[in-house]
Structures are given as C-alpha cells and as structure tokens.
Structure 1
Amino acid sequence: MQQVNLSEDIYFLGFNDRRTHLFENIWPIPHGISYNSYLIVDEKIALVDTVERSFIDEYLDEIEGIIGDRAIDYLIINHMEPDHSGALKSIIQKYPDIKLVGNKKTFGFVESFYLTPKNVVEVYDDYRIDLGKHKLQFQMIPMVHWPETMVTYEETSKIVFSGDAFGSYGTLDGGIFDDEINLDFYEVEVMRYFTNIVGKYCPHTQRAIKKLAPLDIKMIAATHGPIWRSDLDWVLTRYNKWSSYDLDCGVVIVYGSMYGNTQRMAEVIARQLAVRGIKNIRVYDASKTHSSYIINDIFKYKGFIVGSPAYNNSLFPNVEILLSTIEHMAPKDHYLGVFGNYSWNGGGVKNLKLFAEKIKWEMVYDPIEEMGALKTDKKAELVKLANAMADKLLVEN
C-alpha cells in the first residue's frame, strides 16, 4: 500500500478484508471491512493496536518499511478483541523488548488469548507517555464494547485513537479519510456496525462521549472504517443520537409466514399505517432478511410490530431467533404491537406475549391472532392495531 500519514510522524497501517462473509461469524459484511492500526514514529516509537492475523506478514513488512531496523518501544492495546490483537505475538517475537501498554483489565485478556505478558505499562485515566514530540494520554471507556476498552489521545496532533468506537463496516476503497469518500455509502454501514456491535452498550457509549468531550479532538482514528478529520460531527452526532435512543417516527414490521396468511396480516397493518401518514415503514420477512439489518432499523424507528404463526406449538423459528437477538441487544423506548396466526393449535402469539413481558416496551393494542386465512373481523382488528400505533407516533411528531 502507498504510505498514508495522519500527520508528519503518524502512519496509517490498514488492511481490507474482502473475503470474510460474516463479521464475528454472525453479521453479514457484503462490502467487507478494514482493520486499522497506527504507528507513531518519534524519539520513541509506539504502535497503536494491531490487525487481524491473516495480514501479519504484510503488516510486519509495512512496519519495517517505515522504521527500518529501529525497534518499537510501545504497543498500545486499546482493545483486545482478536481482530485488533491478532498480530500481538508476532510483534513481540520481532520486537522482544517492546512494552505492552494497557489497563488493569487488559493483561488478563493478553494471557488468556496469547501469552503471559512480562514487559507491561499499566495505564489509567489521564496517564501520559512521552514519546518525544508526541505525548499520549489515556482514557478508559469500559464496555464500549469490552471491559478493557480504552482510547489513546495524541496531544500534539490532537488525534483520538478510538478502537472500535466510531468504526464502520465496509472496506476502504482507495479513500482513507472522510473527505476522500462519499459518506452516503457509509451511512448504513456505520450505523449497522454500531447497532450490531456497540448498540447493546448504549449507556456506556453515552458515558464515553461525555468523558471525551473536554478533549480538543481534531481527528478520530478508529480500528475499522474511515478516519474522521474533516467532519467529525458527522459521526459524533450519529453516535450520540443512536446511543441515547433518539428514535425517528416509523415502524418496523417483522413477520414469519409459511403459507402467506401471517404475511397478509402484516400487509394490512402496513397499508393502514401509510394511510395514517406514517412514511417510514419497513416490512421484513424474518426468513429472508438477516437480523443485522432488522436490528439496525429497530434502533432507528420507534414502532415495532411483530407477527408469527404457530410452529409446533411455539414461535416460527426465524422470528424466535430475531426476538432473542432483540432481547440480547435490549434497545429501549419502543412501542410494540403483536399479531399471529395458527391452524390447529396456538403457540405463536402466546410466545410473542412472553417476549412483550420481557422487553417491557409499551403495547399499543391487544395481541391479535387469526385461525387460518385472514377474515373480515380480524382484518378490522389489524386496522385498529395500526391506528393505535399511528396515534402514539403522530402525537410525538
């Protein structure tokens, strides 16, 4: 790769993964993902995070191409997840006197994943390391999204090396910085990365945003996605909105359907919402759309309506998987509607009621269940459900 500098002595070491289909072996990444590491060359040299292990050889070559025979003094470990620490053992083998820099929770992870760390510098809030011209300051932001997570602030160039925070799915296709790319592409990928990976920890994200606010930040360098140097507000305002559950007026409707009857119920609800003036309506077949995309819209819109047929006296399996993911992510402050269908015995709606009890969202209407094909009386009830949801949403907008 051509040499990329964040400033005169700070280098970008990034690699594009265009082969992996599922990030964390869960989340679809059709546009791939980047792994970003950074090298600060001064009187002393610091490496900020590493990369996923499949890029180790090229990574070591690039470092040597910049510093030659010099040794790296510090490896800053902002986050121990293996996609950022995958080259740690190789770095230690090549630079055996390197000091590992982390907080009191970092080194237990180093030992459990790789080796017993011996040459360590334990840091905490406001701890500083002097490299020469460049001064590093550390701030702990636990649970964004692992317990050892921290950020490194370079005081001279005013760069925050933010780990996974403010990252994104999607490879860096030539453009590295936000002003080199069309951010329309990253509009979905940044949010999907947040909702899939960080979204469970919104209160912790809010605390981190407030904690970092006093810093004079000119650039944000995350470990995935573009480097933010021209329009930091683009990503900061979005993170603040998403992590504070500031939801837009809209409804996500998700259903499972074997023979089309539950789908027809969903279509009635969607149509009536549109009649009432709700413009943001997203209808998903749980068997077709991966939960990554559905979760993303749930973090965006206030209304959620879910329908399931009975399947062996229980929920339709793909609906059940989605609801389990929603419970795990625990988004807040939604309005909820429930409907379903059965042929000879119930189970779908009964279990949707259990989901409603667990998630503790406000139910806008009593659950609706049809036997067999959709009939006139239940269609009228579905219209009432849609109206009840619209009433809630429109009074707020």
Structure 2
Amino acid sequence: MENLLTEQINDHLYYIGVNDRQTELFENMWPLPDGVAYNSFLMTGEKNIIMDLVKVNTISTYIEKVQEILDGGDLDYIVIHHVEPDHSSGIKNILELYPNVKIICNKKTAPFLKNFYNIEDNLIIVSEGETLELGNRKLTFYMTPMVHWPESMVSYEEETKTLFSQDIFGGFGTLNGAIFDDQVRFNDNYYSETTRYFINIVGKYASQALKALNKLSELEIKTICPVHGAIWRTNPEKIFNLYTDLAKQKVKDGVLIIYGSMYGNTERMAEAVARGVAKGGITDIKIRDVGKTSFSYLLAEAWETRGVILGSCTYNNNIFPPMSFLMEELKQQKMKNNIWGIFGSYSWSGGALKRLRGFVEENKCDVLDIQPEIQGAADEEELRELIKLGEEMAKAIIAKRELE
C-alpha cells in the first residue's frame, strides 16, 4: 500500500517527522520565521525501531505517521539520541499506544527521562562504540557530549552507511514537501538558517562539536538523518564541511557594526565608522541596531564576520540595556577569530565605553587601540576619529588576510 503521510528513505527506513509552523521562538528565544521541522525515523524489520521523537504539540500528526508504517504491528524500540523536549516530549503518548516498547539511551539520558517524564523502566543503556543487534538491524552508538546537552549521542547503521546525528547537522526551517538535500535549493536563506541554528544552539560548544565531527569523520557516511532540517542522501559532505567550518569559526573579511542608540546620535557615529571601513577597502559592511535586531541574528553574523564593532550610548550611568544583554550572549559564544572595535557616547556621565572595555578585556579580545568616547552629538573632529576607527579596522582585517 502506498504511504501517503510518510517518506521512504531506504527499503527499511522511513521519515516520520513533522513540521511546526505555530511555534514562533525556538527554545522560547530564537526566532522561527520559517518554522522548524522535528525529524523522526522509523526502522522496520524483525523489530520496529523509532529513532527520536517529536515535540508534543505535533503529536497527533506524528502518531498518524507511526501507525501508517506499522499498519497494526507493534513498536519494539525507541532510540533517544537527545532528550531535549522537542525530540522527546511526545514519549508519553507513544507509551500509551505501545506500553511494552524498550527505550535505548545512554547512562546520562536515564536521569533526564526520570526527571522529565518519570520513566525508569524498560531502559537499555548503551555506551561508547557499543553495537546493538535489534532483530535483523544493527546500530553502533557514539557519545557526543555537550553537542549540545551532556547526554547527546549519535548512532550509525553500517549496512546502509546511515548516521542518525541528533541535533548535529540540523537547521531551522520547515521541510516544505521536500525532505532530501537533492530536493532542496540550498540558497542564501537555507544557508543562513542552518548557520544561525548552529551558532545559536551549538556555537558555545564549538570545541566539543569539533571533537564530535572529528570522531564521525572516520565513518563512511552515505546518508545523514538529523533531527532538524533536510536529510542528506546525495551530498552529505556539504553539510559535514559546513558544520566543520562553523565549529572552527571560519570567518569572512567583513565588518559588522552593532550600535545602541536612543535618539540617533550613536547611530550617526556608527555611520561614520562604516564610512571609514569602506574607505579602508572592505566592501562587506553591515550596520545593525541592537534595539531592533534579534540577538539571534546578531550572534550569527558576529560568528561569521572577522571585524565586529560595538558602539553604545550610556543609559543611567551604564550601558544601553539591549547592548548589555548582547554582550552577555557574546561572552557565552567564546569566539576567538574576530577583531573587535568599540566606541561609546554619553550625555552627562559616562558608562557605556567602560562596560565595553570590560567586555573586551574579560574575554581577551583582539581589540583596536582607538576607542572613541563622545559626549552628545559628534562634532567634525570626533567624526574624523570615528572614521579613523573604521579605517583601522579595515587595515587590521587586510593585515590578517595577508598573514593567512
């Protein structure tokens, strides 16, 4: 019988994932203008095995897909690669339908199952490099801790060279009819939503991600099945290489200027800095208002851009609050390949530049010496100093390029 709700990946593996177009913020933080997909897979054979689950708000559609494939048969195993609720919160509903199912996880997953869902029974605990025979299917498990939770792991089916990668190789956005990489146009939007996903969700654990990628590079992989984004069956090297570049924080020769302004004076200063960057020979220049642009996008752009310049007005003898919040998030990212610039403004008493200096010093940033601090609106001499800041940033980027 033709499967109308699900998609066949190979002769014994089916895509049973769902799209979520209702949730506006991933983890209630990160914007989802194009929604998100929760991918799940069902492996058939002598035993029926679900690989990861979905978020409970999509469970009714998900159950229809499970039942279409099982067609009255039983479910034997659920593999939990990553227990974050967007991949596990539907588990209670599945257990109501299939109460005898066994749950495959690792020792760090078990406490999460107890704490989130009061599940302690029917667990099969796997360890690093262990291979399980599940009927006529075999899965080998590899631990990938802190990518991006401590219990995260992946599994590999050697027979079909398929990697079930949990959040690794994922991306934001729904799957709109097409689920495979050869059906999806990897355009600027798809690229940016994949990179934003990595930087927002995994970026702060980039060193652990790189260790996991190095481990997985030893496998012969023909298909990658992540829990978000497309299934990579034609060119898995493309997403593997992209994630490796992101984990290494490979930057491009551009400048991102992020400013915080209440009445436009600091914005005018940011424009002067940008003119200096352009005069210095850098053509990729972005100016972002920290009060209007989600920090999700600011983090993503900063991760990929060599030069980052932060400029803020003073607010109540301190820094503009949205800039303060952004700095806290930037600190968590632990970025190491950027060149930083800073400038501040104030009305009657300073504070912004002091906080910016504290940020670059605490994080041991490679920062430019020129750090303008301006009272009120910049006059001609002060505008020249701001232009000079931009020129110095361009000069530093070009010098870095020549060294590489």
Within the alignment, does 1:279 sit opposite 2:296 as a pair? no
CA–CA distance in structure 1, aligned partners of residues 6 and 387 of structure 2: 60
Q: For residue 104 of structure 2, what is the aligned residue in structure 1? A: 101
Task: Give the Cα–Cα distance (whole angstroms) in 2 for the partners of residues 310 and 91 of structure 1.
Answer: 53
Alpha-carbon distance, 1:304 to partner: 0.8
- Calculate percent identity across the aligned residue pairs: 41
Higher mean alpha-carbon deviation, 90-99 vs 114-123, is at 90-99
Matched AA of 2:283: K
Q: d(CA) in 1 for partners of 2:360 and 2:122?
A: 51
Structure 2 counterpart SS, 1:396? helix
* Structure 2 contact 42–49 (Cα < 8 Å) conserved: yes
Shift of 1:69: 2.7
Residue identity matched to 1:395: A
Match of 1:143 among 143, 146, 157: 146
Residue 238 of structure 1: how far off its partner (Å): 1.1
Instruction: State the shift of 1:215 in Å.
Output: 0.9
Amino acid paired to 2:207: P
Q: How does 1:197-276 map to 2 (within 5 A)?
A: 197-276=201-280
Structure 2 Cα separation of the partners of residues 2 and 56 of structure 1: 14
Per the TM alignment, residue 65 of structure 1 is displaced from its structure 2 partner at its CA by 1.6
> Size of the alignment, in residue pairs?
397
Matches within 5 A, 1:51-90: 51-90=54-93
Instruction: Give the residue type in structure 2 aligned to 1:279.
Output: T
CA contact (8 A) 2:276 2:389 kept: no
Q: Secondary structure of the residue that 1:346 maps to in structure 2? A: coil
Partner of 1:179: 182
1:34-53 alignment, distance < 5 Å: 34-53=37-56
Q: Is the 8 A contact 2:7 2:14 kept in 1?
A: yes
Equivalents in 1 of 2:36, 2:287: separation in Å?
Answer: 27
Q: Distance in 1 between matches of 2:112 and 2:178?
A: 33
- After superposing on structure 2, the runs of 4+ consecutive aligned residues of structure 1 that deviate more than 3 Å are none
Q: Does the CA contact (< 8 Å) of 1:133 and 1:156 recur in 2? A: no
State the SS of the aligned residue for 2:103.
strand
> How far does residue 31 in structure 1 lie from its aligned partner after superposition?
0.5
- For the residues of structure 2 that align with 1:322 and 1:160, how far apart are their CA atoms? 35
The 1-side partners of 2:84 and 2:318 are apart by 36
Equivalent residue for 1:128?
131
* 2:323 counterpart letter in structure 1: V
2:153 maps to amino acid = M
Deviation for aligned residue 1:353: 1.0
Amino acid at match of 2:162: I
Tell me, what secondary structure is at the counterpart of 2:341? Answer: strand
Task: Write the distance in 2 (CA, Å) between the matches of 1:367 and 1:272.
Answer: 14
Match of 1:386 among 375, 378, 390: 390
Cα deviation for residue 383 of structure 1 reads 2.2
> More deviation in 196-205 or 133-142?
133-142
Q: Deviations over 1:360-382 (max 9, x none)?
A: 11111232111111112222221
Query: What amino acid is aligned across from residue 142 of structure 1 in structure 2?
Result: P
Equivalent of 1:8, from 6, 11, 19? 11
The residue number in structure 1 matching 2:24 is: 21
Helix, strand or coil for the counterpart of 2:110? helix
1:306-339 Cα offsets, whole Å, 9 max, x none, are 0111100011111111111111222222111110
**Contact 1:104–1:123 (CA under 8 A) maintained in structure 2:** yes
Corresponding position: 1:92 with 2:114: no
Is contact 1:42-1:131 (8 Å) kept?
no
Of the structure 1 ranges 374-383 and 163-172, higher mean CA displacement relative to structure 2 is found in 374-383
Contact 2:43 2:49 in 1 (8 A): yes
Partner of 2:374: 370
1:288 aligns with 2:292: yes
Which stretches in structure 2 are left out of the alignment for 5+ residues? none
Looking at structure 2, the residues matched to 60 and 259 of structure 1 have their Cα atoms a distance apart, in angstroms, of 53
Decide whether the 8 Å contact of 2:18 with 2:61 is kept in 1. no
> Is 2:169 the partner of 1:194?
no
RMSD: 1.2
Q: How many Å separate the matches in 2 of 1:391 and 1:273? A: 9
Instruction: Look up the equivalent residue of 1:121 and give its one-letter code.
Output: I
